Chains A and B, each alone.
Chain A
């Protein structure tokens, strides 16, 4: 029983790390409508920029915030250069371009930072004990950050003008355009938001996996995809739910089935769910 509860806690923590990136990816899906294979590199960039910031003497929180902002800006700029010119060319052209961009970004990081893993600047902390259970601090921190970020995203989408425009564009691009919403502005705002969230997601990933490496975002991306699809593409709330399911699935599968399959459990869940509900648990936006 203790073991099961402990595994559920781990699942929650894993889900929290996935969720932030999944929400960010889902947001960009909603407006840009393609599967962005370069999204993992925004995670990598967020983690590396934070490490860099701390190396330059910034405090960790400040480095994280600056890293997030920088990744947000990078997302807008990269989208302007690589994706915006193709917006009329359909889903596949954008998807393949994103694969190319992923190659470019991952290898640029390696060219600059080298291949060896670098420790993320977070000290070793003792866990809290709750009865027979133990609760490590880092995951709690991660759950808190993820929850906070998601509340902010929710408020942004619900109450701000740009958030409403984003949702309108996501629901029906043609109608949104017809009612005078500037697509370019919405696109830029979405890119900024989703990339910055991705940057923060990368920081959470780095905290979990202790070391940063050039391939970290790329290898994690598929799990994020699974969460996003499970929830239903383009639906940020679905992404949160999908992340939880994937997180729990990975940890339960590892404990009770076999540890050597690792992330494959996430994909099995994904395929099973899609068999039953071809558009995810919470039907996707499209």
Chain B
């Protein structure tokens, strides 16, 4: 059993999801924005990075791969990576600009709908994306030239670890900064933040854009890790998985978001072993979809259980400073605000029949 390559492959993917979760954590966990269209930024990042780095049409590599795409600029992968972040951020800014004014329910569904529009565009504009064919010769940096194929997954994991660690450190610094505190004030009590002179729409847009950029980076890492880009990847389920990771890990805590992704990957992949259980294996003879469906039943139940029994996640958001905490706790008790961490903070504010009404502020 080659457990090591298996773990290496999955850890890389989990870290990429962790980067997505880091972005969502900034938007939701820190700022309280209900973004249900996160997958759109991931998709835009992946396509940007792929199209910028693919060998140009007509080049030797293009012909050798028997490729059919129209656009490939052949730029270096690091440039593709950086611009993927820029593209993710810009699209987030665009989507954010149309919707940050919406109240929570509308924002959730509007972002969800916009992600579907993005997916629709990527599916149908084949001249750009090859639509449902996908593109399967996305360059993998340094492969075969510097790093032999046999150890490539290990090298890619190492690179991913470094990139994610740097972005994690930057994100943590950002949330600890005065700017991060301003974001949190939007989450905890938008009205108060506004009355203190904070420009809340701009703050929200900023969080949207930075979160989108992180998702864009994740898209770039994803496409070069598998060497493909295909619109079939960017379905709503991805958004829900990232939400699950953030909520499990502990929303509001960047480390939690990352840990949540690792735990989520462990769970979704270990449930694959259900099919290896001899008794269950027998059941698939009657209905081949039985065990795979059972797996998702379990994942669904897990999602429900996490929300109900671990409302604050594995690594809850750390209290800031004692003084601030006292203030914010008092304020919460007064207003019954659950803020952005509706699922999480409510645990320490059980007296919140009005939780929802605060969320309804437009």
Contact = CB atoms under 8 A, between A and B. Distances in A.
Contacts of A268: 117
Interface in A239-284: 258, 260-264, 267-268, 270-271, 274-275, 278-280
Contact of A107 (B114, B294, B341): B294
Contacts of A88: 346, 350, 352-353, 355
Given A82-B304, A86-B308, A97-B304, A111 B354 contact: no
Contact of A97 (B113, B307, B350, B355): B307
A280 B102 CA distance: 11
A90 B362 contact: no
Interface residues of B, number: 58
Contacts of B82: none
A161 interface: no
Nearest to A116: B289
Interface of B: 34, 98-99, 101-106, 108-110, 112-114, 116-117, 120-121, 123-124, 240, 243-244, 247, 287-290, 293-297, 299-304, 307-308, 311, 338, 341-343, 346, 350, 352-357, 359-360, 362
Contacts of A33: 356
B206 to A, nearest CB: 20
A222 B108 CA distance: 12
13 contacts: A82-B304, A91-B355, A92-B34, A93-B343, A96-B307, A99-B300, A107-B293, A110-B289, A111-B290, A225-B109, A225-B113, A263-B120, A279-B106
Given A258-B124, A267-B117, A91 B359 contact: yes
A101 B304 contact: yes
Contacts of A222: 112-113, 116
B231 to A, nearest CB: 13
Chain A CB within 10 Å — which of B287, B304, B342 has the most? B304
A263 B113 CA distance: 10
Interface string A208-250: 0000000000000010011001000100000000000000000
B92 to A, nearest CB: 15
A95 B301 contact: no
B105 A99 contact: no
Contacts of B308: 85-86, 93, 97
Interface residues of A, number: 51
Given A88-B350, A286-B360, A226 B98 contact: no
B360 to A, nearest CB: 5
Contacts of B124: 258, 260-261
Given A229-B106, A267-B117, A99 B303 contact: yes
Interface string A165-209: 000000001100000000000000000000000000000000000
B238 to A, nearest CB: 13
A264 B353 contact: no
A62 interface: no
Given A97-B307, A97-B308, 15 more contacts: A35-B108, A85-B308, A90-B342, A91-B359, A100-B307, A103-B299, A106-B296, A111-B297, A114-B287, A225-B112, A229-B106, A264-B116, A274-B102, A278-B101, A279-B106
